[in-house]
Structure 1
Amino acid sequence: MSFYFQPTALVGAIAIAMGFSTSVSATTEAQTSAKSSAKSSLSTIVVTASRGEQDIKDVPARLNVINEKTIQQSPVADLPSLLTKEAALSVKQVGGYGQPASVFLRGSNAAHTLILQDGMRSNTATVAGTNLHLIDTTDIKQIEILKGPASVQYGTDAIGGVIQLISKTPTKNSAFTTVEVGEKNTYKSILGVDAAENGYYAQIRGQRLETDGDQIISNQTKKAGFDQKGYSAKIGVDKDNFGLSAEFKENEGHGDYFSNAMPAAYDFTNRLYNIKGDLKLNPNLVWETRLSQFEDKHEVVKGYPSTVTTKQQEIDSNIQWQLNAEHKLLVGVHYNKTEAESLNTFKDDNDSTGYYLQHQYQNDVINTQAGIRVEDNQQFGTHTVGQLAARYNLSPASSIYANVGTAFRAPIVGQIISEPALWGGNPDLEPEESVSYEIGFDHSITSSMTLYGSAFHTQVDNVMVSGALTNWVFENMGSATFNGAELGLKWAQDDFYANAEYAYIQAKNDDEDADLPNRPRQNFNLTLGWDNGHYGVSTSLVAKGKAKDTRDIPGYAAIDMNAYWQVNPHLKTFVNIRNLGDTNYKTAVNDASSYYIASDRQASVGVTFKY
C-alpha cells in the first residue's frame, strides 16, 4: 500500500486519520501535550534557547518540545521515529532499526544540526552529524528542538538548530518495569528505580531491545536485524543554595546492513559521563559548571573491516547574574577537546575554546536576547558570531518575534585527514559560515485554539561537500540558501486535542541553482487525540512531498496509532501501530536500480508495572 503526497492523496490520508478517530501518536508541538495545556496553567520550561530556564512562550524563536508522555507511548520507537513528527524536520533513514539516519532541520545539511545530551555535544568527529539512530531514549524527560542558529550558545555545528535530549531527575521513590512486544520478533524491556528524599536523589535504568528488522533495500529481500542493551545511572543533590549531579550512560549493540549489495554488520558502543554543579553565590548570582565526556565506537565486524572511535571532553563554566527584575547577564567559557581514531589508519585531535556573553531583557511587553561568542579553534583560528532576538507581546493573546544570527561549522577530523586518501580528507578546508533571519507570530484565537507561524532565510557560505570530480575529496563549494515558512494550529477542548503543521522549505545549491538532495519542499503533520487520564487513543499523520536525489524520491504519507488504558495507578497497558497503511515508501537512492526503503507496519503491545 503506497501513498504519494499529491493533493488528492493527502485528502484521502487525512480522511483515514480522521476515521480512526482521535489522536496523536507523537505530538511534538511546542507547548507540552495539548490536553495538559488546556487543563492546566502550568507552563513548559525549556533551557536550550538561552542556556537557562525560561517559559517557552517567551522564547524569541521557534522551539518545539517532544514531551515525556509522547516518548513513553512506544518504548520501541527509536529517536529518528520520534523526530519524524516535526514538519520542519526531515529524517532520511536508510531502512529501519539500526540504519543510519540524517536530520535536515529547516532544510539545512545533516551536519548543521547540533545534538546535545544534557548539554554534552554528541556529534561525532568522523561522520557529518551523529549516530542518531544509536542513541537510546529510555531515561529522557523531553526533547527540545530549537530551530535556527545557536552558535552563540554552543559553538560549532549549530547552523540549522539544536536538538537536545534532557534526562529525568527523580522527584519521588518509585520503581517500574515496561515490556513491549511486536511484529518482526521485536521486543523491548525497561527496568527503572528512582529514589528521592530531602533534596537527594538517585536513579538507575536498564533496557534491552531486539528485533529481526526489515528489508532496507528495494531489490534485496534480506532483513537487517538490530539489538541493543544499556543502562544509565544518576545521583545528585538539589538544595536551595547549591546542586550537584553525576550521570553515566552506556548503550551498546549490533546491527546488520548492506555494503555494495553484500550483507555486512557492525558493533557499536556509546558512553556519556556528565558531572554538573551549580552554586548560588547570592540570590542574584549563580555559578554553573559542567564536566562531560562522550565516547562513540563503531566497528564493522562483517564486510570491509574498520574500527572508528571518537572521544570528546568538555568543560563549560558560566555565571548567571540577575542584575534586576528585567535584566539578566550570562558570561561563560566552553572548552572542547575531540580525539578521533581509526584503528591502524589514523589518529587526530583538535581542541576549541569559546567565550560567550549573553544579555536578556524581559518585562510584560517585550523579551529580548542578544549575545556574542568568540571561538578559538586550534586548527581553524578565531571566529566571532552574534545573535539578536526579540519577542513583543501585542496583547495577552498575541505576540510576534524576530531574530537574526550568525553561526559557523568547523571541519571535522574525518573531513581533513590527508591519510589514508580513501577518507577524502582535505586539510585546506575552510569552516562554513552562515547568517539567518527569522520572523514569527503566535496568536490565541480562543482559549482553546492557537495559531502560529514563522518564516526564515539562511545562507551558508563555504559549504563542505564530497566532490565527485576530485575523487570524492571534500571541498568547499560557494553557498547554499535555505528559505521556508511554517504554519501551525493547536486546539484542545476538554479531553480532545488536535494539532496540524505545514512547512514549506526550499534548500538550494546556489552555485547550480538546484534543490539539495533529500529535502522535500512540502511537509505536513496532523495529530488528533482523546485522553481522559484513564484511557487515550491517538492518531498521527506524517506527509512529505517528493525530494531530489540522483533521481526523484517520491513523496509519501504514513499513519501511526496509539492507545492506552491506565488500569490503576500501578498498571498501564498500551497498543501501538506504526505505519498503519504498511506504506513501503522510498527514503533515498541506493544505486541505479534500487532505493532504500522505510520500515513497513510495526504493531506492538506493552504493559508497565509501577510502584
Structure 2
Amino acid sequence: MKYRLFLISALFGISNLLLASDEVVVTPARHSQDIDEVIPSVIVIDRETIERTPSADVADLLRWYAGVEIGRTGGFGQQTSVFVRGANSNHTAVLINGVKMNSATTGAPALEIINASVIERIEVIKGPRSTVYGSEALGGVINIITTTDQVKNNAAVHISRGRYSTTEQGVDLKFSNDYAIGDFSFNSIDSDGFPATTNSNTDHGHDNETVDINLKTALGRSNWKFGYWQTEGNTEYDSFGTDLDQDRKNDVLNATFDLPITEKWFSSLSISKIKDEIRQNQVNFLGDEDFTFTDRIVYDWKNDISIIDNIFTFGATKTDEDTESHSFGTRYKENTDSYSLYANQQFKFGKHSVFGSTRYVNHDDFGDETLWNAEYRYQLTKKTRMFASLGTGFRAPDSNARFGFGGNPDLKEETSRSIELGMNYDFSQFNKVSLRAYENKIKDLIETILIDPGAFTFENRNVSDARIQGLELKFQHQSKHWHVNLEGTLKNPRNESDDSLLLRRAKRSLNGTLVYKHDKYFVQLNGLLSSERRDFGDVELSGYGLVDLSAGMHFPKATLSVKVDNLFDKDYELASDFNTPGQSVFAELRIKLTD
C-alpha cells in the first residue's frame, strides 16, 4: 500500500530527480527542477501569498511583480490584457495545470475569469518559451496550478464580503489514501461592480462560478491523472454608451497516463480538451446574436529519461482546433491542425549548466517552423551565478485575424528572437539580489490596416516589427517573520515601424511587497509605481502609484482577514476612458473543517 502511494507521488512529481531545495518548479522544462537550477527568470506565487493578497482574479495577483503589466477595461470580469516583458497579450501562453487555455479566436487568455481562490500556485516564465509550449509563448508563460501532490485529508470553506456589493464564497476538499489522492474546489463571486467607462453612470456587474476537480491514482506500474476546471459567468459592459452583457464559459479537461518504461525512463500520454465560449445576450445592429467558440483537443506524448543528474525530454504533440465566430455580420467556421516534435536537455558539469531545447512545428496555414533555445549558467563563486540565453519564438495567426473582421488567410506567423544576460548574488541565507538585461525582437506583427477609406475596408497584415529592451533589478529578503521583495524595471518597448511606444506599456516601474508573519497574525503591504503609458488614439495615460494592505488573525481552525485595495483611493487608468476601482475594503473568513 505504501509503495503504491509513493509511486503516485513520485510519478506525478514528473521526475525522479533528487532536488536540492524545497522550492521546486515544473514550468520551465515540463519536469521538476530546483528553482536555483532554473536559468530563465521565474516568478513563483504560492498558496500562502495568494490568500494574503487582495485579489479577485489572476491579474490582481500578477500586477505586483516586475515584468508583468496589466491592462483592464473596467472592474470585475471586464476584458483584461497581460503584457509580460512588454510583449503583446496574445504573446503569452496561459496554462491551467499545464494545459494551454488561450482562445483560438483572439489568441489571448481570459485572465479576468480565472478566480484566485481555487489556485494553489502560479509559475511565470518571463521570456520566450515556444520551444517548450509552442505558439503564443514568445513573450512568456503563465502556468496556473490548481492542485498539489502534498495532500492531507482536509476540508475548508471561505466567505468574503466587500465594496461594490461583492460577495465570494467557496469550499475546498482534499483527500489522500493508499489508492488515490485528489481535491475538489468550488468558488462563486458576485459583484454589482461600478461604471466600466468614464462617461457612464451605470454599474457593470459580474458573476462567476468555478469548479475544479483533480484525481490521481496508481494501477499496477502505471499512474493515471484526471483534471477538470470550469468557470462560467456573466459580465455587463459598456459599448459606445450602450449597456450590454455577455455569458462566458471556459472548460479545461485533461487526462494523463504515466508508465515507467525502465527505472530511468518515464513515458506519459495525455489528452486535453479546452472550450472557450462567449455569447452576447442581445442582437447586433443586423439583428444577429454574436458569439465566438474555441474547441481544441491536444494529444501529447512526453518522455523523460534520467541521465545521471540530468533529464532528457522528448515527445510529440498533435493539436486539432475548431473555431466559430459571428461578429457584426462577419461569420466563419474553421478547423486548424498542427503537429510538433520537441526535445530538451539540461547538462550539469562542475560549475556549468546548459539547457537546450528545440521544437519543429507543422501548421496547416503557414507550413513549417523550427525553433531553438540555448541557455547557460555559470557558478562564478559560491554566492554568485551568471546567466545567458538566446532563442526564438513564434505565434500562429489566430482565427479572427485570418477570417474575422479584416480577415486575411495569407497571414504569416509572428516570430521573435531574444537574448538575455543576468546575475544572481546571495548576500546571505536571507538576502538575495538579481539583475537581468534582455532584448526581444518580434517580426511580422499583425495589425489591422485601412486599405480603402471610401469603402471603409480593412485588412489584417504583417506590417510591423517590435524591439523590446529591458533591465530588471530585484532584491529579496526572506526570514522567519519578514519577507521583502523590491523590484525595479527599465524598459523600452518600441514599434520599430514608426518608432512609437507599444500601447499600455510603461518604460519605468517599481514593485514592492513587505510582509510580517507571526504564528497568530500577518500584515502585508503591496506597492506599485508605474510611469506614463501610450494608448489608442495617441492618448497618454498618466503614471500612477498604488498601495494595497491586508492583515489577518490566525485562530486554531480559522483565519480572519481584512484586505484594502487602493488604500489611498488613487484615481488612475489602465486603459483610456475606462474606470478602475477606488478604495475597496473586503473582509474574509477561512475556516478549516478538519485538522
The answer to whether the superposition gives a TM-score over 0.5 is yes
Distance 1:249 1:608 in 2: 22
Distance 2:220 2:494 in 1: 51
1:498 Cα offset (Å): 1.1
The Cα RMSD (Å) is: 1.7
Question: Once the two structures are superposed, what CA deviation does each residue of 1:59-117 show, in whole Å capped at 9, x if it has no partner?
Answer: 11101111111222358521111111112111101111010011111111111111111
**Partner secondary structure for residue 157 of structure 1:** coil
Residues 1:566 and 2:554 aligned together: yes
Q: How does 1:412-491 map to 2 (within 5 A)?
A: 412-417=398-403, 423-469=405-451, 471-491=457-477
The answer for the alignment partner of 1:126 in structure 2 is: 105
Residues 1:80 and 2:59 aligned together: yes
1:310 Cα offset (Å): 0.6
Report if aligned partners of 1:259, 1:303 keep a CA contact under 8 Å in 2: no
Q: How does 1:312-351 map to 2 (within 5 A)?
A: 312-325=296-309, 327-342=310-325, 345-351=331-337
**Partner secondary structure for residue 534 of structure 2:** coil
Distance 1:185 1:142 in 2: 28
The answer for the alignment partner of 2:565 in structure 1 is: 578
Distance 1:221 1:473 in 2: 35
1:363 Cα offset (Å): 4.0
Distance 2:53 2:440 in 1: 35
Report if aligned partners of 2:21, 2:34 keep a CA contact under 8 Å in 1: no
Match of 2:158 among 166, 178, 192: 178
Question: Once the two structures are superposed, what CA deviation does each residue of 1:172-192 show, in whole Å capped at 9, x if it has no partner?
Answer: 111110001111111100112
Distance 1:582 1:302 in 2: 35
Specify whether residues 240 and 533 from structure 1 end up closer, same or farther in structure 2 by C-alpha distance, changes over 3 A only: farther
Residues 1:112 and 2:99 aligned together: no
1:466 Cα offset (Å): 1.8
Specify whether residues 239 and 50 from structure 1 end up closer, same or farther in structure 2 by C-alpha distance, changes over 3 A only: farther
Distance 2:465 2:424 in 1: 32
Q: How does 1:93-492 map to 2 (within 5 A)?
A: 93-169=72-148, 171-237=151-217, 241-302=221-282, 304=284, 305-325=289-309, 327-342=310-325, 345-417=331-403, 423-469=405-451, 471-492=457-478
Report if aligned partners of 1:86, 1:525 keep a CA contact under 8 Å in 2: yes
Match of 1:608 among 581, 590, 593: 590
Superposition misfits of 4+ residues, deviation over 4 angstroms: 238-241
Distance 1:53 1:101 in 2: 30
The answer for the alignment partner of 2:30 in structure 1 is: 51
Question: Once the two structures are superposed, what CA deviation does each residue of 1:118-170 show, in whole Å capped at 9, x if it has no partner?
Answer: 11111101124122211233332111110111111111111111011112136
Report if aligned partners of 1:152, 1:356 keep a CA contact under 8 Å in 2: yes
The residue identity in structure 2 corresponding to 1:443 is Y
The answer for the alignment partner of 1:34 in structure 2 is: none
Specify whether residues 152 and 240 from structure 1 end up closer, same or farther in structure 2 by C-alpha distance, changes over 3 A only: farther
Distance 2:242 2:428 in 1: 57
1:523 Cα offset (Å): 1.1
The residue identity in structure 2 corresponding to 1:202 is G
- Structure 2 alignment gaps of length 5 or more: 1-19
Report if aligned partners of 2:138, 2:416 keep a CA contact under 8 Å in 1: yes
1:328 Cα offset (Å): 2.5
Distance 1:494 1:141 in 2: 22
Specify whether residues 208 and 426 from structure 1 end up closer, same or farther in structure 2 by C-alpha distance, changes over 3 A only: same
The residue identity in structure 1 corresponding to 2:325 is S
Distance 1:218 1:263 in 2: 13
Distance 2:560 2:115 in 1: 22
Residues 1:556 and 2:544 aligned together: yes
Distance 2:54 2:206 in 1: 15
1:519 Cα offset (Å): 0.7
Distance 1:235 1:527 in 2: 35
Report if aligned partners of 1:265, 1:303 keep a CA contact under 8 Å in 2: no
Report if aligned partners of 2:283, 2:290 keep a CA contact under 8 Å in 1: no
Distance 1:503 1:96 in 2: 26
Question: Once the two structures are superposed, what CA deviation does each residue of 1:233-258 show, in whole Å capped at 9, x if it has no partner?
Answer: 22211589542111112211111111
Question: Once the two structures are superposed, what CA deviation does each residue of 1:386-410 show, in whole Å capped at 9, x if it has no partner?
Answer: 0100111112211011100101111
1:538 Cα offset (Å): 0.6
Question: Once the two structures are superposed, what CA deviation does each residue of 1:482-512 show, in whole Å capped at 9, x if it has no partner?
Answer: 1001001011344122110001111111111
Deviates more, 1:210-219 or 1:399-408: 210-219
The answer for the alignment partner of 1:543 in structure 2 is: 529
Deviates more, 1:198-207 or 1:111-120: 198-207
Normalised to the residue count of structure 2, the TM-score between the two structures is: 0.91
Question: Once the two structures are superposed, what CA deviation does each residue of 1:343-402 show, in whole Å capped at 9, x if it has no partner?
Answer: 593211101111011121124522211111110001110000001001111122110111
1:338 Cα offset (Å): 1.2
Specify whether residues 135 and 368 from structure 1 end up closer, same or farther in structure 2 by C-alpha distance, changes over 3 A only: same
1:478 Cα offset (Å): 3.6
- Structure 1 alignment gaps of length 5 or more: 1-40, 590-594
Distance 1:240 1:457 in 2: 49
Distance 1:489 1:75 in 2: 23
The answer for the alignment partner of 2:14 in structure 1 is: none
Distance 2:120 2:410 in 1: 42
Distance 2:420 2:121 in 1: 25
Distance 2:274 2:198 in 1: 35
Report if aligned partners of 2:413, 2:444 keep a CA contact under 8 Å in 1: yes
Distance 1:509 1:81 in 2: 27
Report if aligned partners of 1:76, 1:180 keep a CA contact under 8 Å in 2: no
Report if aligned partners of 1:95, 1:217 keep a CA contact under 8 Å in 2: yes
**Partner secondary structure for residue 597 of structure 1:** coil
Normalised to the residue count of structure 1, the TM-score between the two structures is: 0.89
The residue identity in structure 2 corresponding to 1:255 is T
**Partner secondary structure for residue 98 of structure 1:** coil
**Partner secondary structure for residue 446 of structure 1:** coil
Percent identity for Structure 1 against Structure 2: 25
Deviates more, 1:63-72 or 1:240-249: 240-249
Distance 1:190 1:73 in 2: 16
Report if aligned partners of 2:446, 2:464 keep a CA contact under 8 Å in 1: no
Deviates more, 1:137-146 or 1:91-100: 137-146
Distance 2:258 2:379 in 1: 32
1:469 Cα offset (Å): 4.8
Specify whether residues 59 and 173 from structure 1 end up closer, same or farther in structure 2 by C-alpha distance, changes over 3 A only: same
**Partner secondary structure for residue 107 of structure 1:** coil
Distance 1:398 1:199 in 2: 44
The answer for the alignment partner of 1:511 in structure 2 is: 497
The residue identity in structure 2 corresponding to 1:186 is T
Specify whether residues 447 and 76 from structure 1 end up closer, same or farther in structure 2 by C-alpha distance, changes over 3 A only: closer
The answer for the alignment partner of 1:35 in structure 2 is: none
Aligned residues: 560
